[in-house]
Amino acid sequence: MSSLNWLKYEVILHWIAVALYIAASVIFTYSLFFKNGKVIRHAFLLTIIGLVPHSAALLVRWIEQGHGPYMTRYEVLSSDAWVLLVMFLLFSVKWKKVQHLGVIILPVAFLMIAVGVMRNAAMQNLPPSLRSVWLIMHVTFAKLAGGAIIISFAAAQIFLLKIKRKSNNWLAKFPPAEIIDEYSYKFAGFGFVFWTINIAAGSIWAQESWGRYWAWDPIETWSLITWLMYGIYAHLRLFWNWKGKKSAIALTVCFLLSLFTIFILPFVAKTLHSQYFTP
């Protein structure tokens, strides 16, 4: 089958996944509004069913182009959403209270895929410098960091809403504010760990590729700034007792920085990453 036909099926599979994720989002919202804990199972089921065409689309592309989803905006956004959803499902199994965050996570995920699918889906070959095992590590952990950071951001936003509108019935159905605050911290911690591994793997890759582990490339520098901000956030929380509102605001700033570094900078700055992360 020609690449063009594969592309057609891939896009269809992506839209099926988007439709299922939209349905799951609706059920997540319904379960919160009507305090119907039972229907949340259906939301999870739909998310899992949505992951089937989503995974198939990514897998087909992977096989067809011979490398992972890290070259074009289309595949990057779709795979980032996939990682986010898988992380969310796994964490929801371990920590039941995280389940309610689906009300934010699912819409974010389907929007990411939809934005990606509307971009140019043409496949691209891997340049020689990207043919490295360290690239796979680098990209994998960047995606994991992105997923964890989005979950922590979602928790921080729910926390801020909860303390602002204490009498709101809808928000009352979420776990207590302090618990949500701790989850946002926990996922920020995961994000911080993954971000560090992402930087380390990128650094080793750069050393193997160009003989320089750090070149002050704009993405590298922004990545370091984001890392430092997460470090500052962690210190403020632990030693200056920045819990609750202050912590959630600091985390929101860190999230915006990460968002800029991962999703916006490669498109606006002249950086080593721009040539690989094409529109």
Partner 1 sequence: MIVRLKMKNKMKKILLSRSTGLTLIVFAAMLCLAGVNIPQVSDSSPSFINGWKESHPLLAPVISLLHFDRMFSSEIFVAIVFLLFFVMSFSVWNLFTRTRKKLARQNLKFSEKSFKNYFSFISQDGDPVKNVIDTFAGKGYSLKNLSQGKYLFRKYGFSRWGGFILHLGMLIIIAAALYTFLFEKRGFIQILERDTFFGSSEEFLSTENGVFASPFVPNFNVTLEKLTPDYYPDGNLKFVESSILVSTTADTRIHGSLSINNPYKFGGVNIYQSTSFGYTICLLLNKNGKDIPTYFSLEHPDKLGKPFTAISDFPTTDYVFKMEFRPDINGSSFSLNQPSLHLIVDEKGMIQFDGTMKPGESVRLGDQELTFVDIRHWSGLILTENQSVIFIFLGFGLVILGLISVYIFPMREIYFVVEKNENAIRLSFGGRAVREPRRFEEEFRNYIESIYLKENFTNVKSELVEI
Which residues form the interface with partner 1 (CB under 8 A)?
A: 125-129, 131-132, 176, 178-179, 181-183, 185-186, 189-190, 192-193, 196-197, 199-200, 203-205, 207-214, 216, 218, 221-222, 224-225, 228-229, 231-232, 235-236, 238-239, 269-270
C-beta of residue 60 within 8 angstroms of C-beta of residue 13: yes
Q: What is the DSSP string of 88-123?
A: HHHHHHH-GGGGGGHHHHHHHHHHHHHHHHTS----
SS3 state at 278: strand
Q: How far is the CB of 106 from partner 1 (least distance, A)?
A: 24
Q: Which is nearer to partner 1, 115 or 126 (CB)?
A: 126
Q: How far is the CB of 216 from partner 1 (least distance, A)?
A: 5
Supply 247's token pair.
């912590």
Rounded distance, CA 149 to CA 170, Å? Answer: 24
Q: How far is the CB of 56 from partner 1 (least distance, A)?
A: 26
Q: How far is the CB of 222 from partner 1 (least distance, A)?
A: 6
SS3 state at 38: coil
Q: Which is nearer to partner 1, 186 or 245 (CB)?
A: 186
Could you identify the residue written with the tokens 């096989």? Answer: 63
Q: How far is the CB of 69 from partner 1 (least distance, A)?
A: 18
Q: Which is nearer to partner 1, 75 or 181 (CB)?
A: 181
Q: Which residues contact 240 (CB under 8 A, 6 or more apart)?
A: none
Q: Which residues contact 172 (CB under 8 A, 6 or more apart)?
A: none
Q: How far is the CB of 149 from partner 1 (least distance, A)?
A: 13
Q: Which is nearer to partner 1, 111 or 269 (CB)?
A: 269
Q: Which is nearer to partner 1, 49 or 232 (CB)?
A: 232
Q: How far is the CB of 49 from partner 1 (least distance, A)?
A: 30
Rounded distance, CA 154 to CA 139, Å? Answer: 23
C-beta of residue 213 within 8 angstroms of C-beta of residue 138: no
Q: Which is nearer to partner 1, 34 or 214 (CB)?
A: 214
Q: Which is nearer to partner 1, 132 or 252 (CB)?
A: 132
Q: How far is the CB of 278 from partner 1 (least distance, A)?
A: 12
Q: In 95-217, where does DSSP find H-type helix?
A: 102-117, 133-164, 169-172, 177-210
Q: Which is nearer to partner 1, 18 or 149 (CB)?
A: 149
Angle between the N-to-C axes of helices 177-210 and 245-259, in degrees from 0 to 180, rounded to the nearest 10: 30
| CA-based nearest residue to 70, from 123, 12, 112 | 123
